[in-house]
Amino acid sequence: MTVETFAPPTVATYGSTDPAAPLVVLLHGRGSDETEILGLAPHLPAGPAYAAVRAPIAEGGGYAWFANHGIGRPQADSLRATMDWFRGWLDAAAPAGRPVVLVGFSGGAAFAGGLVLDEPGRYAGAAVLYGTLPFDAGLATEPGRLAHLPVFVAQGEGDHVIPRELLDRTWDYLLSESGAPTVAQRQPGGHQLTARTVHDLGEWIAHRLAFVDHLGATPAGPPSRPAWPTLPSGELPGRAGPRPQVSWTIPQQQESQNAPADLQERLFEEVRGLAGVDVGPSRISVPGARGFTLRDGSDDEQAWLVPQVGEFAHLHPAYDGSLHLVLPPDLAADVSAKGWGRPHMWAGTRLSPGFVMVHGPRDEAELAVVLGIVAASHAYASGR
């Protein structure tokens, strides 16, 4: 199937008619259509324009090229053609500069995932609802592929429509290797939207679009090879071994591979010795977290965890041992891609896009690298 065989898009709309308003695109699942999924729009934030786009392939009544048990070469070819068809419509509906958020349910979630994997910098965010990313479709899924692209993912624990291995693979990739700041929700139930999912989705859309309106969107996509002046080699090495387990709910906490207590204390003493640093209880973290503040520093609010008090980093209690800190966006993406941490789920929606968790050091060599990462955060907050 080629692009030329597709009919012009059938689109149902709701909300703002301002051609400059942010655009939220709703993508339906199998057995549904554009009018049914548009019923979500009245329950989502006022202000954006909403557009529901009918799938161009009639079979199955939805974005039906995604077999629930994976994707083969014919489906991958159809995915490419259909993404090109969709982009033709989108580029006319939302020229460059107009924020676009994708919201996909079931098969529509797989299509939304394919679009953002193919061109992450085109979108301001994506919601993957009760579906899987299109793995094995020839799209890139390297670590850091979705850096700085806020994602909302929701799944049902009893979903028997999408195979559990694909749901788990999607969940694990988004929350770990992808580099996307991901708000995640798993709850009892099967393959259907719940009132809680719609409510939380609406909050996420509102926060993301308010952030973009206020501060703009950090370009999404895999990191380049940024320079690290605070590391001896000028480059961040890869962290050895598998990534640790990290909670997917607030508060974000490291749950495995925790740093030895003595290394945590050495890390604390080194950071408190950086120029102009004061220490005290964190103003944003859990009880027992020790915050690092600067008396003077950058005027850029995105260089801070808590701009009002000058907190640029904090060290979590001994049962955790990780840090939260803020880095320039390119360095933050590098930290995630190289396995040294992951973005906070609120990065780019409620907090700085450079807000990352850095895993606690397991040995002397890792302590040196983590200190170099914290030094880069200190330099950023200092305005250097």
Average pLDDT for 232-239: 96
At 166, the amino acid letter reads L
Could you tell me how many residues make up the chain?
384
The string of pLDDT tens digits covering residues 255-285 is 999 999 999 999 999 999 999 999 999 999 9
Same fold, 3-215 and 261-382: no
pTM score, two decimals? 0.94
* CATH 2.60.40 for domain 261-382: no
Q: How far apart are CA 312 and CA 293, in angstroms?
A: 6
CA–CA distances in Å: residue 348 to residues 145, 210, 215, 290, 353: 16, 10, 9, 24, 4
* Average pLDDT score over the chain: 93
pLDDT at residue number 75: 60
Burial letters for 76-97: b for 16+ Cβ neighbours within 10 Å, e otherwise? bebbbbbbebbeebbeebbeee
- Bridge partners of residue 52, in order along the sequence: 12, 26
Helix, strand and coil in the chain, % to nearest 5: 35, 20, 50
Rounded to 10 degrees, what is the CA torsion of 228, 234, 235, 236?
A: -60
The string of pLDDT tens digits covering residues 18-35 is 999 999 999 998 888 899
The model's confidence at residue 81, banded by pLDDT at 50, 70 and 90, is: confident
CA–CA distances in Å: residue 36 to residues 32, 49, 116, 243: 6, 17, 23, 40
- Domain 3-215: assigned CATH number: 3.40.50.1820
CA 155 from centroid of its chain's CA atoms = 16
Is residue 68 over pLDDT 80? Answer: no
Q: What percentage of the chain carries pLDDT values higher than 90?
A: 86
Q: Is residue 285 a contact partner of residue 324, using CB atoms and an 8 Å limit?
A: yes
Q: What percentage of the chain carries pLDDT values higher than 70?
A: 93
Kindly list the domain boundaries of the chain, sorted by start residue: 3-215, 261-382
